[in-house]
Amino acid sequence: EKFCAEGISLLGILVHSRHLRTVVHVLDKILPLFYPCQYYLLKNEQFLSHLLLFLHLDSGVPQGVTQQVTHKVAQHLTGASHGDNVKLLNSMIQAHISVSTQPNEVGPVAVLEFWVQALISQHL
């Protein structure tokens, strides 16, 4: 409850300040508390917009059309399409899935359901 009241805006400050690695570490500690009651975050517009901005900032996609095309071609040639922080986020999600299979944990379905819902929300 305290995270929803105060923590989400603080998370936003970290995202806007481009402390993206720190954002992943915060999510790593906080999200397991929300997997059993996902709707608190999934219905929070502010949280979802911070997640969208995180993904956008880490993608490094340039703004101009020519730069975007060049960026897409470079991504295709190098096989790289995500920034380091998105890769770190992916590793965190995998770790959460693994931990969730332990006795008395929420189970992998809850973790996957949270991320599917968060990533397909209208904001993204």
Condensed to tens digits (0 to 9), the pLDDT of residues 53-83 reads 998 888 765 555 666 566 566 555 555 555 7
Separation between Cα atoms, residue 53 and residue 56, nearest integer Å: 5
Residue pair 83/60 in contact by the 8 Å Cβ criterion: yes
Residue 32 has a pLDDT of 96
pLDDT beneath 50: ranges in the chain = none
pTM beyond 0.85: no
Residue 59 has a pLDDT of 72
Residue 107 has a pLDDT of 96
Separation between Cα atoms, residue 78 and residue 34, nearest integer Å: 36
